[in-house]
């Protein structure tokens, strides 16, 4: 079911199976989660994770130039938070993930996760059953957003 809304289009889902996975070391978190989503037939879903990364590339989206700026994190960090969703892009499961990383003093770097090399990552992934949720190019932002 999809309903128009002053606050945005609301897509309704039912909960389905849930996965707990400890990702393999040295894999990329985004690639691993995407592969798991594909294998589990997850076309719409939600994920959280905690753990630690060996290194990462974060993105900050410039809201004026409509381009991502990259932030290189080339040292080990705790993954203090990781939130994401799964939807379709070009017909394939696509993971959109944001993280907060913390160094040995507890200081943080955060943003859109472009790449994250896993030291340890305990991922909780939920499959949602409902309408097809497809990303399409959005003129206003230049981003791929859920279609209206």
**3-state class (DSSP) for residue 32:** helix
State which residue, 82 or 90, has the beta carbon closest to a copy of itself.
82
Q: Give me the least distance between CB of 35 and a copy of itself, in Å please.
A: 5
Structure token digits, residue 59: 């993105």
Q: Does 66 bind a copy of itself (CB under 8 A)?
A: no
Task: Indicate which single residue of 92, 132, 137, 143 sits in contact with a copy of itself (rule: CB under 8 A).
Answer: 143
Q: Residues 90, 91, 106, 139: which binds a copy of itself (CB under 8 A)?
A: 106
> How is residue 107 written in tokens?
């200081």
Neighbours of 48 (CB within 10 A): 14
Q: Is 114 in the site for a copy of itself (CB under 8 A)?
A: no
Q: In the complex, what is the shortest distance from the CB of residue 90 to a copy of itself, in angstroms, rounded to a whole number?
A: 18
What's the burial of 50, exposed, middle or buried (CB within 10 Å: 0-12/13-18/19+)?
middle
Residues 6+ apart with CB under 8 A from 39: none
Least Å distance between CB 42 and a copy of itself?
11
**Residue 93: CB minimum distance to a copy of itself, A:** 13
Q: CB of 122 within 8 A of CB of 129?
A: no
């Amino acid at each position: 079911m999809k309903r128009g809304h002053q606050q945005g289009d609301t897509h309704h889902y039912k909960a389905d199976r849930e996965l707990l996975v400890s990702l393999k070391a040295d894999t990329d978190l985004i690639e691993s989660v995407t592969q798991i989503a594909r294998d589990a037939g997850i076309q719409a879903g939600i994920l959280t994770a905690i753990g630690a990364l060996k290194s990462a590339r974060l993105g900050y989206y410039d809201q004026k130039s409509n381009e991502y700026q990259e932030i290189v994190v080339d040292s080990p960090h705790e993954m203090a938070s990781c939130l994401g969703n799964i939807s379709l892009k070009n017909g394939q499961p696509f993971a959109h993930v944001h993280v907060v990383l913390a160094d040995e003093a507890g200081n943080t770097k955060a943003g859109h996760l472009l790449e994250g090399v896993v030291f340890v990552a305990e991922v909780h992934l939920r499959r949602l059953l409902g309408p097809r949720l497809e990303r399409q190019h959005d003129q206003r932002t230049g981003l791929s957003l859920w279609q209206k």
